[in-house]
Amino acid sequence: MSKKKLFTVGQAAKKAGISRQTLQYYLLVGILEPTETTGTRRRLFDEKAVEKIKLIKKLNDSGYPLREIRELFFHGRD
């Protein structure tokens, strides 16, 4: 079984087409969670998380406030 590829904050931000600061903001406001956190507290993201970041950006660019996007994602978990 192969280990899935994980990306650092900087790598995930670059793959998703956003700035590192924007990704850190998404984490801060709780709209996104890292796939894994290492023992040294490094946050890592898989390809699925990168796709979610792209979706967040697309929704935000089309006029949805981050608060509504967060509600959408969390309401969808219920």
Residue from 56, 18, 12, 2 nearest 36 by CA: 12
Q: In one letter, which amino acid is 40?
A: T
Q: Is the pLDDT of residue 56 over 60?
A: yes
Domain limits, the chain: 48-78
Q: What is the pTM of this model?
A: 0.86
Neighbours of 57 (CB within 10 A): 17
Q: Encode pLDDT of 4-40 as tens digits.
A: 899 999 999 999 999 999 999 999 999 999 999 999 9
pLDDT for 75: 76
